[in-house]
Structure 1
Amino acid sequence: MPDFNYIASARRTIEMERDAVHSLLERLDHHFDAACTALMACTGRVVVTGMGKSGHVGKKIAATLASTGTPAFFVHPGEASHGDMGMITRQDVVIALSNSGNTAEVVTLLPLLKRLGVPLISITGNPDSIMARSALANLHTGVEQEACPLNLAPTSSTTTALVMGDALAIALLEARGFSAEDFAFSHPGGTLGRRLLLLVDDIMHGEASMPLVSPSTSLRDALLEMTRKGLGLTGITDEEGRLVGIFTDGDLRRTLDQSIDIRTAGIAEVMTRNCKTVQQGILAAEALKVMEDGKISGLFVVDEQHRPVGALNMHDLLRAGVV
């Protein structure tokens, strides 16, 4: 079909799904409040279930809940009928997804959930369905038409179910006061976790690997110290060990532009005073912001007396996955 307009088709799909999502705003009522109240009161786990495409959406909802402070997991309804019902306890809350609200594999579980006394929250496209009538709260996500031109493939309906699940998760997140640090603890292995948990103390170069010279040091010897330590900078400290200046690769280029004789000049003549520093114990991501805002590639970590306790550069942040 060489003349087929793919972009027009994509626009139609996006517009239909956008309109379907927008319609959810009018359906947020006491059922949503009841669902959130039950989930907040849950002392066990939130168990999400659904068949087919609803099951795929359910897995994502369970993952989003779990990563935002609401312990949750997914149970396949077919497997639940063959032993996995044992994963559901009386302390749990079940969220069941089905566009029709009459999916046989899920409906089969309803009497068992009733017997356990487990609260049921349904996400369905049919408020008059078996699931909706059996639920403590039904979140209506039905659509007038799927984005599929045959009105068969779950498209708009799965999008609305997914968005409703996100709405639940974020409402609970905000109600719990879930913080960025809490989020990082759920994602310790990823970039988000590293950015939110890693401290400068974890990646800085300290003690013997920290390049330092005194104000009386010659520029030549200071450059040798920079070369030995390989951080592209050196700090200058006074007699009390306080940081009074810094000299970097960038400073060296600027010094050469000024025709200063590096063999005879002293480091005190060319160092940068009042240099950018960070306090020990801060997040590495905060140090990155200081470096980005100051357009610098390295800095020193200091204590309360402004004595250097470590040094780091952009390469250290890159290796740590903070950048």
Structure 2
Amino acid sequence: MSRIIGITMGDPCGVGPEISVRALTDMSGDDRAATRIYGNLATLNAAREALGLSIDLEPYVVDIEVEGAPLPWGSLSPVAGDAAFRFIEKAVRDAEAGAIGCIVTAPINKEALNLAGHHYDGHTGMLRSLTGSKAAYMLLASERLKVIHVSTHVSLQEAIRRATTERVLATIRAGNDHLNRIGFDRPRIAVAGINPHCGENGLFGTEDDDQIAPAVAAARAEGIDVSGPISADTVFYRAYSGAFDLVVAQYHDQGHIPIKLVAFDTAVNVSVELPIDRTSVDHGTAFDIAGKGIANHGNMNSAIAYARKLVAGKATRG
């Protein structure tokens, strides 16, 4: 089982190259030897120069050609969108072949990706398609708060439609299995309601009673320690205070807002239930500061640390 971490560089015009280079520079010699950056060497060298660093990047880079590289920093480009896709595709194939143990993704730009003809809503959908997976869940992990999402990059109206009993139950199971894997013997899981006050017995909607509560009951019947639905205006505070190990959020902003409030620079995005392991930074391409050498790489360090934990756990199980 490979212990190598494969970092995909992300959009060549964003901060991904800089945070990848800075993270590599910060590593111990042993960790650096177990790391590869899937990206474009010319772009990474330009990022190194912007950062004022002298590290020789070539031994650590899986160099993938990008026409015109390095591209202008901070620009929206279909060339960059296509390159970001190809970095990820190569890393996925290497992970499937066992050449790397986990992928860590730097940020991509969804508009650039779609301009290039790759019509995905983000990393998770792309990885699901590339691996042929039926499902994948977005889990955001920080030290004191972890959240898994029933749906992510869809409209609020569509998110409510997707909050079916079957999908909520599958999300509970996925979160429970992942926490088991990283060392929680019996995770305490809370399921957030979708309506104010969980619908107040039908006064503000019936989805919580009709769709979410049956999923919680079914999960409990399977032996999962799960509670809910619990009003979303209190459940995240209770989890942050130690009452729960994981919250099931019903839609993107319901889960992202509390995580970004308490762990903006350290939260890790984890794809759950893919046949390969993947972690990611939980921020965007930050075109406005790209190439200036000032991007914070703390989030990348956290994503790499989580990836190494997953790889170590996989090796132990093997």
Q: TM-score, normalised by structure 1?
A: 0.30
* TM-score, reference length from structure 2: 0.30
